Amino acid sequence: MGSIFRGEDSRLNPGLGLWRVCESVRGPITLEGSLFEQTPRGLLVSHHMVLAGTMLYQVGEMTIGVDLRWKQVSTRQAGELGLALCVGRNDQLVLYFPSQREAEKWTQAVRTVALSADFHTQYEELKDHTAIARVEFAKNRKDQTVVAVKKYTCVELRTVPGKYRRLLREIEISRQVTHPNVGKLIAVYESEACVALVSQYISGGTLLDRLQAKGKLEEEGAKEVATSLLRGIAHLHEVGVIHRDIKLENVLVEASASLSSVIIDFGLAIGAKEDRGTVCGTPGYVAPELLRKQQYCEKVDIYSAGVVLYMLLSGASPFPGPTESAILERNKQSRVTFAGKGWEGVSTQARNLVLRMTESDPLLRITAQKALKHPWLLPT
């Protein structure tokens, strides 16, 4: 049936051939060097290749390039020639490397921007790890690194309205964010049956797991979580991304004593310039302007993070209710109070930051950068 992303690839790489003529190499260069291609007669011809952004260039008398975003790549052992990097379906381009070290550098860099076609060659699925929702786990066959694997069947991508477009957006956004407090997308794999997003594995579980085990966090622990969470959100907003579903389940923490957090799951994320007409998020965490179907900005993430901080400090939700509709109504009214035993002993500064983050009026709501400079989060 062919790649589910064929239309996207055709849009970026019009024409029948692999290459198109380019005026010059554009964007920051990731890698460059001499790689080899084998002629029909078996001779190796050297090309100066450049990987810049999502573009692979061959630079000579003229510069030609191909956008790799929706091209399939794979690797194979080619006898005495060593590792071969195959680009495009039916191996439109096969490149060889001057050394094993160069082969590893190039294949790893290319996999981060292209579609990989050899998941089971690279990874072994782990049956002793419990799958969470659609996320499974696997182990890199070479270095034994455990990764998280989020799978979408090609059937659902072709038949469920909106599913394919949401996946495209999730991949595009995940590829453009790079920060220690944001989950790292390692590679995207495509087969005839499914598309698999391979991401870094954080062994400590979610903030929800941590909260269920502890009931609530002491202020120092909550500070550590809030600082790393806000750093991740600040990075997203700097690169023009709105997550739209910050919640306990979408924040992972390390298994160590550290409570440094990592934001995951960009299934509802959008770019800053995209249409914002959709009401989305999780009841109890949603910024009120979203529920009121008003115009909104990136500060919806700050509101959701404020709810997370409220729950970390008190062990309870600011908008409890017996039903989802009751929770949504309280969420929409956005009356944040500090009633209950969970708030006994919590400092005034901590409460102040919660209020600044859950301010009902987005114009008055604090930004991520300003929140990081709040007195409660500054070193004492």
State the pLDDT at residue 96.
96
Phi, psi of 264 (to 5 degrees): -130, 175
Structure confidence at residue 222 (pLDDT): 95
* pTM score: 0.89
Which residue in 9, 67, 245, 265 is the catalytic one?
245
Mean pLDDT of 103-123: 93
Which residues make up the CATH 2.30.29.30 domain(s) of the chain? Answer: 6-101
Q: Tell me, what's the pLDDT at 128?
A: 63
HSE-up of 26 (CA within 13 Å, CB side)? 10
Which pLDDT value is given to residue 332? 95
| pLDDT, average across residues 286-300 | 94
Per-residue pLDDT tens for 132-170? Answer: 557 899 999 999 999 999 999 999 999 999 999 999 999
Domain spanning 207-372: CATH 3.30.70.600:
no
Return mean pLDDT, the chain. Answer: 92
Strands 185-190 and 115-116: parallel
Q: Is the pLDDT of residue 106 over 70?
A: yes
Per the annotation, the verdict on 245 as an active-site residue is yes
Taking residues 253-271, what's their average pLDDT? 87
The pLDDT, as a whole number, for residue 16 is 76
- Which fold, 120-200? Phosphorylase Kinase; domain 1 (3.30.200)
Axis-axis angle for helices 207-214, 300-314 (nearest 10): 20
Q: CA–CA separation, 99 vs 370, rounded Å?
A: 48
From the list 350, 307, 309, the residue with the least C-alpha distance to 216 is 309
* pLDDT classification of 288: cutoffs 50, 70, 90: very high
Residue 279 is predicted with a pLDDT of 77
Q: Report the distance separating Cα 216 and Cα 160, nearest Å.
A: 39
pLDDT at 380: 75
Cα-only R_g, the chain: 24
Instruction: Give just the sign of the alpha carbon dihedral 231, 232, 233, 239.
Output: positive
- What is the average per-residue pLDDT within 296-322? 96
Choosing among 3.40.50.300, 3.40.50.2300, 3.40.109.10, 2.30.29.30, the CATH entry for 6-101 is 2.30.29.30
Q: How confident is the model at residue 93 (pLDDT cuts 50, 70, 90)?
A: very high
Q: Which two tokens stand for residue 283?
A: 């009841």
Give the pLDDT of residue 280.
87
For the chain, give every residue range classified as CATH 3.30.200.20.
120-200
Looking at the chain, the domain(s) classified CATH 1.10.510.10 span 207-372
